[in-house]
Structure 1
Amino acid sequence: MAGETFPFTSSTLRSLRLQREWLEWEDRRRAAARQSRSQRCPLSARARLTRPRRSCRDPAVHNALFSGDLQQVQALFQDEEAANMIVEMVSNQLAWSPEQGFWVLTPKTKQTVPLTIAAARGYTDCARHLIRQGAELDARVGGRAALHEACAQARPDCVQLLLTFGAKSNVLSDEGMTPLHLCTTPESLQCAKLLLEAGATVNLAASESEVRPLHVVAARGLEQHVALYLEHGADVGLRTSQGETALNAACAGAEDPGRGRQHMAAARLLLEAGADARAAGLKRHTPLHNACANGCGGLAELLLRHGACAGVPNGAGHTPMDCALQSVQDAPNWEPEVLFLALLDYGAQPARPEMLKHCANFPRALEVLLNAYPCVPSCDGWVETVLPELWQEHNAFYSSALRMVNQPRRLQHLARLAVRAQLGSRCRQAAAQLPLPPLLRDYLLLRVEGRIQ
């Protein structure tokens, strides 16, 4: 690359403008140096001028960087100026057009630097060459530094390289995120270990949101990351700007019962580390509300065992039972009765009759809820929502429920409810300790029988 021209741009006017900016910068630098020497100021007090970066849209440069062609990178980037150029990329993205009333492809320009491209794609040799040519390790052109992108793409070799050459482990992106905040996949565990070994601050909050790295990995159910951060002193009691703890994040992130297992493992680690199962955010939404809204029965039971309150309302007045009922139809192929049983065994009140319509097409779950009443409430709110084929398949249950509406229940059922009321939130633990025959214990815990008696 020549010292006074930039061969990668196809525009002569652009080249001339860049050359003029360079010369003006050099004049200002020399003037500042002369003034500094005349005043005999120490080096730390001298004026520091920022060298203007040159921009490039040349396809040859893009191809070399994005393909990791080391020979081409070595040929194209032979000095500090080239290693720190701004690489401009134009991509088409969908954007809503109010004028046209539909989504259209809109060109969007993105800026970055060569080192960030190489680090994000795991081209360690290319990144090493750029660093040796003087690439700035912590440059945030485009909003993120190379270390951010290496962690976001789970490139531990590049993370190690950058840290070895002196990249800052706590460098902030324009969004106020550290590289540790961007370790968001199971494959990024080694990146997180390298960052922490290099001195990354595990409890550093992101700007504005005040999200900590522990919130991020808990929300994604990354059990090994959670364990690693806890080993390095992560505080389970720290909250985001919305008042959410890492446990809230873990329960909110379990968006369906299928993913609930990995989030339950993360939540268990947090609870064992002292997380408060009753901690509510600004909207008074507790971890149990989140678990129930996601239909995660196992996670809800874990929280209840650690002291979560089954009957507390959130800011909208909804109890965990309300959240569980509203989630039934959003999570097919699961067993909502497991969640309802856990809530009832830990002291939740029976569901409001008007809410029964949400689980009308889940006969086992509906049976559990109906058996929590001393008298079967009116079926008018849910009977018409049952699918005909489901009614035919479970005719014995639905017919028995209709027959028992507002009819006296058996004394055995009333005695069961009386014992459960006496035990309260200790029903499940007490039933396991009472010297009861297995059949009677199952009956006390609202065993599903396939009919209402």
Structure 2
Amino acid sequence: MKLWSTDGQCAELLLKHGANIHLPSEDSGETALHVAAKHGLYDHAHLYLRHGADVDARSTRGETALGLVCRQAPDAAEDALQLCRLLVVRGAKLDARDELRRSPLHEACGAANNVLVRFLLRRGADVNAIDYNGISPLGCVLQAAAFKQELRPHLVVQLLLNYGSQKIWPHAFAKVLVLVGAGGVEAGWAMGGLTQHGCMGV
């Protein structure tokens, strides 16, 4: 019996009648916990974990529930943060990699979600993790900056630099900060050691 209900009482009833908490979907290989994480359903995730759900179960793409939560946009940051805390307390691996070697921190940076980035970094996520394309978390937020300016990606850049991110692509870095506004550039100079010529300080 599969467990995909978005209704909390219904999900609990299904579990009581033998629904398989570990059964993945045929197409994506996602478990009930993956679905709860993807949709930000904290109560469901808590229920599934209490019934023994594998916190680090992998989809066919190698995705964990934590990685899926970290894709949430900043407008859902507080709900996503609560869910991230739950998963980490239950033992979720901070640096679990998917099939593209992307970590939850890569995902949070790609979404320009500074709340989740801060959470992951404070708990020891690898700030210089590299995916199969050679992209670090800093690279992810720089790629996203040009079309996510309203999300203030420079805040994520500041966090990454403060936690020891390698300072890559110095000229491109300054140009991207220009895209997010003068405030972002000034913050970049202050937090990341940029000079006003667009080069990294030593």
Report the alpha carbon displacement of residue 192 of structure 1 after superposing the two structures with TM.
Answer: 1.0
Q: Deviations along 1:399-449, whole A, 9 cap, x unmatched? A: xxxxxx79xxxxxxx8xx8xxxxxxxxxxxxxxxxxxxxxxxxxxxxxxxx
Name the structure 2 match of 1:358: 176
Q: Pick the aligned partner of 1:224 from 43, 65, 70.
A: 43
Counterpart code for 2:177: C
Q: Deviations along 1:128-178, whole A, 9 cap, x unmatched? A: xxxxxxxxxxxxxxxxxxxxxxxxxxxxxxxxxxxxxxxxxx0xxxxxxx2
Q: Deviations along 1:373-415, whole A, 9 cap, x unmatched? A: 5561634xxxxxxxxxxxxxxxxxxxxxxxxx79xxxxxxx8x
Q: What is the TM-score with the length of structure 2 in the denominator?
A: 0.89
Percentage of matched positions with identical amino acids = 34
Report the alpha carbon displacement of residue 226 of structure 1 after superposing the two structures with TM.
Answer: 0.9
Name the structure 2 match of 1:237: 56
**8 Å contact from structure 1 (residues 221, 265) kept in 2:** no
Q: Distance in 2 between matches of 1:292 and 1:342?
A: 10
Name the structure 1 match of 2:98: 281
Q: Distance in 1 between matches of 2:48 and 2:182?
A: 43
Q: Per the alignment, in what secondary structure is the counterpart of residue 56 of structure 2? A: coil
Point out the structure with max Rg over C-alpha. Answer: 1
Q: Distance in 2 between matches of 1:351 and 1:294?
A: 19
Taking the TM superposition and a 5 Å limit, the aligned residue runs for 1:22-37 are none
Pick closer, same or farther for the CA change 1:234–1:223 going to 2, 3 Å.
same
Pick closer, same or farther for the CA change 1:376–1:237 going to 2, 3 Å.
same
Pick closer, same or farther for the CA change 1:332–1:375 going to 2, 3 Å.
closer
Counterpart code for 1:293: G
Counterpart code for 2:88: L
Q: Could you list the runs of 5+ residues in structure 2 that have no partner in the other structure?
A: none
Report the alpha carbon displacement of residue 208 of structure 1 after superposing the two structures with TM.
Answer: 4.5
Counterpart code for 2:26: S
Q: Per the alignment, in what secondary structure is the counterpart of residue 150 of structure 2? A: coil
Name the structure 2 match of 1:341: 158
Report the alpha carbon displacement of residue 351 of structure 1 after superposing the two structures with TM.
Answer: 4.4
Counterpart code for 1:358: V
Q: Per the alignment, in what secondary structure is the counterpart of residue 266 of structure 1? A: helix
Report the alpha carbon displacement of residue 371 of structure 1 after superposing the two structures with TM.
Answer: 3.3
**8 Å contact from structure 1 (residues 304, 346) kept in 2:** yes
Pick closer, same or farther for the CA change 1:195–1:312 going to 2, 3 Å.
same
Report the alpha carbon displacement of residue 332 of structure 1 after superposing the two structures with TM.
Answer: 4.3
Report the alpha carbon displacement of residue 236 of structure 1 after superposing the two structures with TM.
Answer: 0.7
Please identify which structure carries the higher strand content: 1
**8 Å contact from structure 2 (residues 162, 192) kept in 1:** no
Pick closer, same or farther for the CA change 1:375–1:207 going to 2, 3 Å.
closer
Q: Which has the higher contact order (CA 8 A, sep 6+)?
A: 2
Verify: 1:270 aligned to 2:87, yes or no.
yes
Q: What is the TM-score with the length of structure 1 in the denominator?
A: 0.41
**8 Å contact from structure 1 (residues 221, 264) kept in 2:** no
Pick closer, same or farther for the CA change 1:194–1:336 going to 2, 3 Å.
same
Q: Distance in 2 between matches of 1:205 and 1:239?
A: 9
Q: Per the alignment, in what secondary structure is the counterpart of residue 210 of structure 1? A: coil
Counterpart code for 1:303: L
Question: Over the residues paired in the alignment, what is the CA RMSD in angstroms?
Answer: 2.2
Q: Deviations along 1:93-112, whole A, 9 cap, x unmatched? A: xxxxxxxxxxxxxxxxxxxx
Verify: 1:300 aligned to 2:114, yes or no.
no
